[in-house]
Structure 1
Amino acid sequence: MSTAAAHPAVRTRSLGDRRRRTLAWVGVSLLVVLGVFVAGGVAGDAASTTALADRNLGPSAGHPFGTDPLGRDLLARVLAGLRLSLVVGTTAALVSAVIALVLASAAAVFGGVVDRVVSWLVDLFLALPHLVLLILLAFVFGGGTQAAVLAVALTHWPTLTRVLRGRAREIVTSDHVTVSRQLGHGRGWIARHHLAGHLTGHFLVGAVLLFPHAILHEAALSFLGLGVDPGEPSIGVLLAESMRYLSAGAWWLAVLPGLCLLVVVKLVDTIGENTRALLDPRSAHL
């Protein structure tokens, strides 16, 4: 077999190996995240069990992450906090992604004034300081878990809206959509039969990529006292509580929860990036 003829086979095999590696990364990351979620539910009771005789103990065999000022096992509280962050992050990311999908579809299907309004809203929200807007919205909604979800959901849609809007406009201006219009199909029919299928992959990947930002911003709001209820073992709450004990040498109260949060965020980001590479191989080289 000539070298020229062998190249396509080698390239195909290389792409297949890369795809398998990508699938493996997605699978491993997803299993770890699901494991954290399940473990957080199992650790719920231990996270709230106090033992005043074991206050502020450092990491040990009995307490791998140490204990907090009330003697509660920090590992159990971190797992419960990560589970809560996953729930809040998932809810906020999905709501934000749905907002982006609705606005992008409306802009592409209706065009004209609707398209200009959506574009203006995207530019406005992107121009505003993100963290300041988060804090203001959380304050307006009164704080708490629901306020954190709403604040994060209402501030994370602009970038995804811009991406989906560009893709939707390509679809709407394509030849097969033009033929559909000539056959008398209305905007609703075009949105359901043309936009929905083509935007599903971008929507799902965008929602997953919003997830890490949602988790981090929920933790930031909780750290500032505007997020999850203080009685819940959120990672942001744990970090806020640890600040008064760092000077006494209780480093584990801040370092270990913070590291666990970063690991989970990185795993979720890996899932999103690799899923995008699977759906659109060209994006892996951008």
Structure 2
Amino acid sequence: MRSGKETCEAAGFKVAAAPVLHASRAARWGNRKLTLAAFVLAVAALAAVVAAGFLAADAATATDFAQKNLAPSLAHPFGTDWMGRDMLLRTLAGLSTSVLVGLLAAGASSVIALVLGAVAALGGKKADAVVTWLIDLMMGIPHIVLLILISFALGKGFWGVTIGVAVTHWPSLARVVRAEILQCRESTFVAVARKLGQSPLRIALKHMVPYVLPQFIVGLILLFPHAILHEAAVTFLGFGLPPEQPATGVILSESMAYLSAGMWWLAVFPGLALIATVLLFDVAGSNLRKLIDPHSSQE
């Protein structure tokens, strides 16, 4: 007797080969390796920028009036400013300061978001209403205006702008945390855990923390670009870091007075370096989301 495949072939029909599941698994594994490589490279580049900035902190403030106002060259790739300071070293030192402010501010802001999101989701209707109202209030006020007011009230400087950024950047992440905890609380496995007699603390540690942690970590990383850009903006406007401290906002603010004299490199290269740093944080956060998000980890 002929098999079904031989019968179909004799009748002139082509039989498609059965799909190979291993190929799709290999493709997914290849995508995950590329995503992991992109994440590691972005984090390594950010770490290199911060380390180079700290190492160049003293050299960035060294003046040499015999080398002032030099255009970009091999000796000075970013040129020099009106005091003969190397702009590449100043840019690296400024980026390390901005990244440090972003790390501290984003870390504090994420803790605020986690606490308020958990209170809103687990504290009952009144607590949820209060936190939701507070989130809507904070999101209704422009970040930059509230940030300037807080930084100015705290005397500006490093801690003034850091606290201002931390206090103003938690609402979006708090809303995400609240939604994740509410979804986890109403899930089937949490209901089964309650029926099995597990305590609320055990349910929170064993079920809710692993459920919320991936989104929280991704949200924390994606807070860094916003914090860095807002720190640079406030410093540029004169309400952030002091002029004697190398920072990207200070460099861009001081360069405005020299653009009309043709010294374009004083603003172009630090601005591009700031954009590249922000994009590195965005690449790191996006690829981390692909790695740990259950919805995208199977792609």
TM-score normalised to structure 1 length: 0.93
Amino acid of the residue matched to residue 187 of structure 2? S
CA displacement at 1:171 relative to structure 2 = 1.1
CA displacement at 1:122 relative to structure 2 = 1.1
Decide which of 65, 79, 88 is 1:75's aligned counterpart. 88
Structure 1's 117 and 219: CA in aligned 2 closer, same or farther, altered over 3 A?
same
Structure 1's 281 and 5: CA in aligned 2 closer, same or farther, altered over 3 A?
farther
Aligned partner of 2:227 in structure 1 is: 214
Unmatched segments (≥5 aa) in structure 2: 1-14
CA displacement at 1:111 relative to structure 2 = 2.2
Decide which of 159, 167, 175 is 1:154's aligned counterpart. 167
Structure 2 CA distance for aligned equivalents of residues 74 and 179 of structure 1: 61
CA displacement at 1:246 relative to structure 2 = 0.5
Q: Does 1:196 align with 2:209?
A: yes
Aligned partner of 1:172 in structure 2 is: 185
What do residues 90-145 of structure 1 show as CA deviations (whole Å, max 9, x unaligned)? 11111111111111111112221111111111111111122211111112222111
Structure 2 CA distance for aligned equivalents of residues 134 and 256 of structure 1: 26
Q: Does 1:51 align with 2:58?
A: no
Decide which of 48, 56, 65 is 1:35's aligned counterpart. 48
Structure 2 CA distance for aligned equivalents of residues 185 and 29 of structure 1: 41
Amino acid of the residue matched to residue 180 of structure 2? R
Structure 2 CA distance for aligned equivalents of residues 84 and 256 of structure 1: 17
Structure 1 CA distance for aligned equivalents of residues 188 and 241 of structure 2: 49
CA displacement at 1:49 relative to structure 2 = 0.6
Structure 2 CA distance for aligned equivalents of residues 116 and 282 of structure 1: 30
Amino acid of the residue matched to residue 159 of structure 2? Q
Please give the root-mean-square deviation of Cα atoms over the aligned residues, in Å: 2.0
What secondary structure sits across from 1:126 in the alignment? helix
CA displacement at 1:229 relative to structure 2 = 2.2
Identity of aligned residues (%): 48
Q: Does 1:280 align with 2:298?
A: no
Q: Does 1:139 align with 2:159?
A: no
CA displacement at 1:187 relative to structure 2 = 4.7
Unmatched segments (≥5 aa) in structure 1: none
Structure 1's 169 and 4: CA in aligned 2 closer, same or farther, altered over 3 A?
farther
Aligned partner of 2:36 in structure 1 is: 23
Q: Is the 8 A contact 1:110 1:187 kept in 2?
A: no
Bigger proportion of residues as helix: 1
CA displacement at 1:244 relative to structure 2 = 0.4
Structure 1 CA distance for aligned equivalents of residues 184 and 276 of structure 2: 37
CA displacement at 1:284 relative to structure 2 = 8.3
Structure 1 CA distance for aligned equivalents of residues 122 and 295 of structure 2: 27
CA displacement at 1:64 relative to structure 2 = 0.9
Aligned partner of 1:251 in structure 2 is: 264
Structure 2 CA distance for aligned equivalents of residues 142 and 188 of structure 1: 41
What do residues 66-100 of structure 1 show as CA deviations (whole Å, max 9, x unaligned)? 11111111100100111111111011111111111
Q: Is the 8 A contact 1:105 1:195 kept in 2?
A: no
Decide which of 67, 76, 98 is 1:63's aligned counterpart. 76
Q: Is the 8 A contact 1:109 1:187 kept in 2?
A: no
Q: Is the 8 A contact 1:55 1:67 kept in 2?
A: yes
Structure 1's 3 and 50: CA in aligned 2 closer, same or farther, altered over 3 A?
farther
Q: Does 1:94 align with 2:117?
A: no
Q: Is the 8 A contact 2:78 2:88 kept in 1?
A: yes
Q: Is the 8 A contact 2:144 2:234 kept in 1?
A: no
CA displacement at 1:4 relative to structure 2 = 6.3
What do residues 194-253 of structure 1 show as CA deviations (whole Å, max 9, x unaligned)? 322222211111110010111000000110111122211100000000010000001000
Decide which of 246, 264, 267 is 2:280's aligned counterpart. 267
Q: Is the 8 A contact 1:105 1:191 kept in 2?
A: no
What number of residue pairs does the alignment pair up? 285
Larger displacement relative to structure 2 (111-120 or 243-252): 111-120
TM-score normalised to structure 2 length: 0.89
Amino acid of the residue matched to residue 104 of structure 1? G
Structure 1's 122 and 4: CA in aligned 2 closer, same or farther, altered over 3 A?
farther
Q: Is the 8 A contact 1:56 1:69 kept in 2?
A: yes
Aligned partner of 1:124 in structure 2 is: 137
